[in-house]
Amino acid sequence: MKEQALGFIGAGNMAGSLIGGLISDGYPPENISVSDVDAAKLNDLATRFGVQTFEDNKAVVARSQTVLLAVKPQVLEQVVRDIAAPVRERAPLIISIAAGVREAAIDGWLGGGASIVRCMPNTPALVQTGATALHANERVSTDHKSLAEAIVRAVGIAVWVDREELLDLVTALSGSGPAYFFLFMEAMENAAAEMGLDEATARLLTQQTALGAARIAIESEDGPADLRKRVTSPGGTTERAVEVFENGGLRSLVFDAMKAANARAAELSKQLGG
């Protein structure tokens, strides 16, 4: 895998995170090339990681066995159409992290017949704790799937879904999910501050509690329901708080929120050519 020439089109934060994770895992920087219209971003990646940089996307395709599309969904069509000829000539594996753009649309812009993997990463990938779901079209080989998974595992965990439309649900879950947790943390901080704690203390305690709860959940073989019961003593303070959440309809509110996010992800996919 580390002998593969890997090209990134787009030098934004997610590309930088993936490149940093790959190099930390021992991927040779000389086997990574990056293109972008922003010379400052290219210079930053070249300085930090020693990768090859180009302002021409076609130059990256010409030297890559795998091409990772890391541009905004709104400009993806233009970018893909521009590299269609060298992609047809070299037939690299195409990996897209552009949210909402379907494999069929990308394949059509390329002229058809491409091997495409779509990924839905989330923002914690920027700190090497990402959760990424992947889907491959029918032309992607087992070796290519292993390569795509290894790339995204450089910044966290990776899971495959068997139907592309499930990536919309993944968007609603792990893609948008960090914002849900931030909102809950914000509410906890504000409540503690209103009840007497200074803001700095409320924030620190909230952050560490969130970190600790997540770590317990990750390291435990038990599910969240069992973990919750384990820390909820009968007649205690936690039980009283949980009762308020349950009586307030927290579960149905979360379901409705995720359903709305899932529907919006599907709408955006259609708008972006999906």
Residue 274, annotated ligand binder?
no
Question: Cα separation of 170 and 100, whole Å?
Answer: 11
Question: Cα separation of 191 and 133, whole Å?
Answer: 35
Cβ contact 71:60 at 8 Å: no
SS3 60: helix
User: What residues does 115 pair with on adjacent strands?
Assistant: 93
Strand 93-96 versus strand 66-69 pairing type: parallel
Question: Cα separation of 272 and 196, whole Å?
Answer: 48
Residue 247, annotated ligand binder?
no
Residue 9, annotated ligand binder?
yes
Query: What string of DSSP letters covers 134-152?
Result: EEE-TT--HHHHHHHHHHH
User: What residues does 7 pair with on adjacent strands?
Assistant: 33, 67
Please name which of 84, 73, 65, 75 lies closest in space to residue 5, comparing C-alpha atoms. 65
Residue 57, annotated ligand binder?
yes
Residue 265, annotated ligand binder?
no
Residue 14, annotated ligand binder?
yes
Question: Cα separation of 130 and 132, whole Å?
Answer: 6
Residue 73, annotated ligand binder?
yes
Please name which of 136, 141, 85, 74 lies closest in space to residue 109, comparing C-alpha atoms. 85
Residue 106, annotated ligand binder?
no
Residue 13, annotated ligand binder?
yes
Residue 97, annotated ligand binder?
no
Residue 137, annotated ligand binder?
no
Binding residues for NADP(+): 9-14, 70-73
Binding residues for NADPH: 57
Binding residues: 9-14, 57, 70-73
